[in-house]
Amino acid sequence: MSAHEPTTAPAGRAPDGPLPTREQRVAAWLAFLALAAGLAYLAAVTLNRLDVLILSVLALSVAVVAAWFAVSRRGTARIVAAVVVVAALVALALALLRSHSIWVLIVGVALASLSAAAARLALRPARHDPAARAGSEVAPAARHGVLIMNPWSGGGKVERFGLEALCRERGIEPIVLVPGSDLLALAEDAVRRGADVIGMAGGDGSQALVASVASRAGIPLVVIPAGTRNHFALDLGLDRADVVGALDAFTDGVDTVIDLAEVNGRVFVNNASMGVYARVVQSDEYRDAKLRTTAAMLPDLLGPGVTPLDLGFLLPTGDRATTAQLVLVSNNPYQLSHLRGAALRPDLDRGVLGVVSVLIEGAADAQRFAALEAAGQVRRFPGWHEWTTTAFEVESSGPVEVGVDGEALTMDAPVRFTIRPGALTVRLPRAALARGKVAPAVHVASAPTLAALWHTALGRPVDR
């Protein structure tokens, strides 16, 4: 069963979750109706336009295979493959336009989106009173709060929102990084000077460094979403658009205890990745020319005859892997039905690492992977493995490139990952906990999701 899918209670035991609200019951029925309408509509269209369907599948298959050759080859082979990709996509577009099937696609996508959105609403975890939520407690106002700020992060959000002046108005000591600043040393110095709450306004890599100091000192961390993506803030329940509102945690906050993960002794709050992506971002040219650098390096990583990446680790089956295009280790598991876009972690206190490895061997595998990825069923790909553990180790004959919370690092092998349960207290503004947990990622056509929706529609509790 996929970890991102809701589960129902085992036979013989009634689910003990909260009763669904009227809004959730209506949403569950709407999800069923939209799904049924979408399936009926597509079935009818398929019978009338089978030729268009066959042509579309062929064009997409050709495009995917050609794209694999375009990214994994050089010279003439790459040029020819790129031309084939464009030609296949043009043929697909013309077929859809000439047969007026573009409306079929639009209607089908709209009904599928409506069903998925309704299912997410129906299965959304219940909201909690901030003072009553498990693992959290109302906190006193900081006596000596300190906020460290990265003025370059997030395109200059620190200056744009006037965080330094706001800190002074609220009695929070501001520390603004300058070129050459040692973030770790500044955080440790703030603790030595009596900080009882420490915060970081910046990206997730900076959050992790300050989190390591807060954890050692036994004081709460305040997360200010002043980075570019702010994945850590999202999983904590913060409104990433409300940078100023996050400051309320210093004066009117709620403490919640979460886990931290470590790789070779370095703390990370989100994830660490190894493989093709981690190798590419090591390049000095990547930051200034991402697409050009990636295109130049991929043939040396994916092309025929290249030496596979030297990454050895145990799979959940007990077999030993010797290579992979991707190895992702996260602080608590992500909800994953695909790799595109942002993934979410519904919990940060389960006391386990989430591990994902992906191995794609050639064009045929790439085609299958792309199809499953598009369908939200990437877990069915034979080269996909996903599991949870409390410790994980990757061996290699030399240094390993690792992307840690967005930072490109090189580490000596073996690369060891561990989880530290309950290692960090995060102080959140009350509004963050009132927002509740993130809604589950759902695949409406899966049996577990359909079962959970049926229980919800009938007003029965569902284990979450």
Which domains, ranges and CATH numbers included, belong to the chain? 22-127+442-457 (no CATH), 136-263+423-434 (3.40.50.10330), 271-419 (2.60.200.40)
Percent of the chain having pLDDT more than 70?
A: 81
Buried b (16+ CB within 10 A) or exposed e, 215-233: bebebbbbbbbbbeebbbb
The three-state secondary structure class of 90 is helix
282: Cβ–Cβ under 8 A, 6 or more apart, which residues? 401, 408, 410
Per DSSP, the residues of 242-288 read -TTGGGGGGTSEEEEEEEEEEETTEEESSEEEEEHHHHHTTSTTTTT
Structure confidence by residue, pLDDT tens digits, 271-319 = 999 998 787 777 766 556 656 766 776 676 677 777 888 999 999 999 9
Which pTM value belongs to this model?
Answer: 0.78
Q: Are 5 and 448 in contact (CB under 8 A)?
A: yes
pLDDT at residue 5 greater than cutoff 60: no
Residue 68 has a pLDDT of 75
Give the dihedral of Cα atoms 312, 318, 319, 325; nearest 10 deg. Answer: -50
pLDDT at 4: 39
Residue 27 has pLDDT above 50, yes or no: yes
Query: Cα separation of 323 and 177, whole Å?
Result: 40
Beta carbons of 349 and 258 less than 8 angstroms apart: yes
Mean pLDDT of 83-105: 78
* pLDDT value at residue 357: 94
- pLDDT for the residue 279: 76
* For residue 184, pLDDT beyond 60: yes
Kindly state the percentage of the chain with pLDDT values over 90. Answer: 45
Lowest mean pLDDT among 39-43, 67-71, 218-222, 286-290: 286-290
Count CB neighbours of 149 within 10 A. 23
Q: What is the pLDDT of residues 133-163, one digit of tens each?
A: 445 578 899 999 999 999 999 999 999 999 9
pLDDT-derived band of residue 338, with 50, 70 and 90 as boundaries?
Answer: low
Average pLDDT over every residue of 426-454: 72
- Mean pLDDT along residues 95-112: 73
Mean pLDDT of the chain: 83
Q: What is the DSSP-derived secondary structure letter of residue 337?
A: S
Position 356 scores a pLDDT of 93
Residue 136: its pLDDT value, please? Answer: 58
3-state secondary structure of 62: helix
Alpha carbon of residue 357 to chain centroid: 15
Alpha-helical (H) ranges within 49-101 are 50-72, 75-98
CA nearest neighbour of 374 among 123, 100, 67: 67
Q: What is the pLDDT of residue 1?
A: 38
Q: Check whether 25 has a pLDDT greater than 80.
A: yes
Average pLDDT over residues 440-454: 71
Residue 368: pLDDT band by 50, 70, 90 thresholds?
confident
Average pLDDT rounded to a whole number, residues 10-36: 74
The pLDDT tens digits of the residues spanning 406-417 come to 888 999 999 999
Model confidence at 397: pLDDT above 90: yes
Chain segment 194-220, per-residue pLDDT in tens: 999 999 999 999 999 999 999 999 999
**Which of residues 457 and 74 earns the better pLDDT score?**
457
Q: Which residue has the higher pLDDT, 360 or 146?
A: 146
